[in-house]
Amino acid sequence: MTKSNLSRGYVVKAGASRTPPLPQSGRSLVTTEDSNGAFMIAESSSNVAGPGALHVHHDHDEVMYVLEGEVIATVGETIHHLCASELVYLPKGVPHRLEFPTTARWLLIGSGGYDLSRGELSSAFAKGLKGADVYAEIENVDFVSD
């Protein structure tokens, strides 16, 4: 797609993605490049999974809007139990983790450049890395604890 096409907008059809698949069975809907550096939007899903690693993003804010299922989000010291139609804001600089007590599906909105971190995350998962080793692969994201 050329820049002139992007300025007129585009449609992402059901099941399609703007980029290769993302972690947690995700698909890219709007990339940082599409929005001229402003934001990114992805749809992701996860099977039941225990708590992920506590980590902190230094450059990017995230918003997670739950479409289906349940999500437990730890943001700083506070634990939030979310279900469909609920949202959690994960500000940069604040440690957070996610847990999926049920199969879940959500929209992830990140400030510009966040999708680049997600590409690094995909690469780390593809290598079979876990915990602190995953976050060592991602620029401007630090592992805090399991």
Per-residue pLDDT tens over the stretch 10-55 = 888 888 888 766 555 678 888 888 888 899 898 988 888 788 889 9
Instruction: Tell me the chain's radius of gyration from C-alpha atoms.
Output: 15
Q: Which domain holds residue 50?
A: 15-141
Q: Sort 123 into a burial class: Cβ within 10 Å, 0-12 / 13-18 / 19+.
A: middle
Per-residue pLDDT tens over the stretch 53-112 = 899 988 889 999 999 999 999 999 999 999 999 999 999 999 999 999 999 999 999 988
The SS3 of residue 19 is coil
- Tell me if 1 is assigned to some domain: no
- Tell me if 4 is assigned to some domain: no
- Tell me if 146 is assigned to some domain: no
- Tell me if 108 is assigned to some domain: yes
Is the per-residue pLDDT at 130 higher than 80? Answer: no
- Tell me if 9 is assigned to some domain: no
- Tell me if 5 is assigned to some domain: no
- Tell me if 10 is assigned to some domain: no
Q: How many domains does the chain have?
A: 1
Backbone angles phi, psi at 129, to 5 degrees: -75, 155
Q: What is the mean pLDDT of residues 112-116?
A: 72
- Tell me if 35 is assigned to some domain: yes
Tell me the CATH number at 45.
2.60.120.10
